[in-house]
Structure 1
Amino acid sequence: MARWLWIASALLGLVQVMVDLSDRDTLIAEIRKRDPGMSQDEIDAAVQAGLLFTLLIAGLIVLVYVKIANRMAWGRNWARIVLTVLGAGSVGFGLLQLLAHASGVAAVFGVALDPVDASLTVAGIGLDGTAIVLMFLPAAAAHFRQPVAVDRVPDQS
């Protein structure tokens, strides 16, 4: 179950990136603010390149999460530790983000959190937190003590 939660969390992160990138007008305004001398063609090219690069990185992150989650499901303790560190960082950052917005600190710096972003952040915190807990339940501990002969999926035949 933890493997699927990690994969769902990674996919949710990809959705969150896509939602953030869907506001092309904000991206254009940000580029224009940083370099007012750029022509519209240059701005459009910069936005396209930025979108492509961001989606590529987000896709690679999903693939890495899937690979590590599969290793964890096969009983690799190093994968459980890596996922715990990544998940704890994600949970901590998400909680800080929500706290900054709830306390008004983010508004001081002009950072807004729309309801969709807030919902995706809360869902990510829930997925990551639950996956971490599942990996350390007593029933899971025995799974990580069993030696695995190969570093691939066991033969199902």
Structure 2
Amino acid sequence: MTTETVRENPPSTIIAAFFGFLASTVSAIAGGLVILSSRADIEAALRKSDPQVAQDQLDRLTLLAQAIPVAIALVVAIVYLWLSFRLKAGRNWARVTLTVFTLLQAGSLLATEPSWAGYVSCGVAVVATVLSYLPPSNRYVAGVRRAV
């Protein structure tokens, strides 16, 4: 197998893992959008925690409670996308990093109350991680490593 062949033709397992991580990213973004649509619930929870808070302060707190998770989701999505493309290029460090992120994502399911999008995103990421370690993927990554 030549260097050009290795770089141009990732196996189907890597392609499936790549698309799996893309789908996981999209479902994570969907979870972030759910937060944007939950303004009334967030405001009610904040009001319940401090009934004496002024309306203008409540509005700012609600916006902050929406903005922080959405910003984090966007940053994570950008990093996931970049790592997915590096995985497709056969970079082992990207595969290892995606594995660690997937394990952290699975752990977060136990520590939080995730939405349906969180479960879908994690499930797809787990499948993508497994695909990235199957024998054809291992051969591809090893071939790219030798070529570099």
Q: Could you tell me the TM-score, scaled by structure 2's length?
A: 0.75
* Equivalences for residues 28-47 of structure 1 within 5 A: 28-47=43-62
| Bigger helix fraction | 2
* CA offsets 1:29-85 (integer angstroms, 9 cap, x no match): 222233332211111122123323332221111001011111111111111111111
Given that residues 72 and 79 in structure 1 are in contact (C-alpha distance below 8 angstroms), is that contact kept between their aligned partners in structure 2? Answer: yes
Cα RMSD of the aligned pairs, angstroms, is 2.3
| Higher RCO by CA contacts (8 Å cutoff, separation 6 or greater) | 2
**Unaligned 5+ runs, structure 2:** 1-15
Quote the Cα distance in structure 1 between the aligned partners of 2:70 and 2:119: 22
Quote the Cα distance in structure 2 between the aligned partners of 1:41 and 1:129: 43
Q: Could you tell me the TM-score, scaled by structure 1's length?
A: 0.72
Quote the Cα distance in structure 1 between the aligned partners of 2:69 and 2:121: 19
Shift in Å, 1:92: 4.4
Quote the Cα distance in structure 2 between the aligned partners of 1:20 and 1:82: 27
Quote the Cα distance in structure 2 between the aligned partners of 1:54 and 1:132: 24
For the pair 1:138 / 2:144, whether they are aligned, the reply is no
Match of 1:3 in 2: 18
Moved over 4 A (4+): none
Match of 1:65 in 2: 80
**Unaligned 5+ runs, structure 1:** 98-105, 150-157
- Secondary structure of the residue aligned to 1:36 is coil
Given that residues 88 and 128 in structure 1 are in contact (C-alpha distance below 8 angstroms), is that contact kept between their aligned partners in structure 2? Answer: no
Shift in Å, 1:126: 2.7
For the pair 1:50 / 2:50, whether they are aligned, the reply is no
Quote the Cα distance in structure 2 between the aligned partners of 1:137 and 1:46: 46
Kindly tell me: are residues 125 and 57 of structure 1, through their superposed partners in 2, closer, same or farther at Cα, counting changes over 3 Å? closer
- Secondary structure of the residue aligned to 1:46 is helix
* CA offsets 1:95-133 (integer angstroms, 9 cap, x no match): x47xxxxxxxx9xxxx7x7xxx33x34422331121011
- Secondary structure of the residue aligned to 2:70 is helix
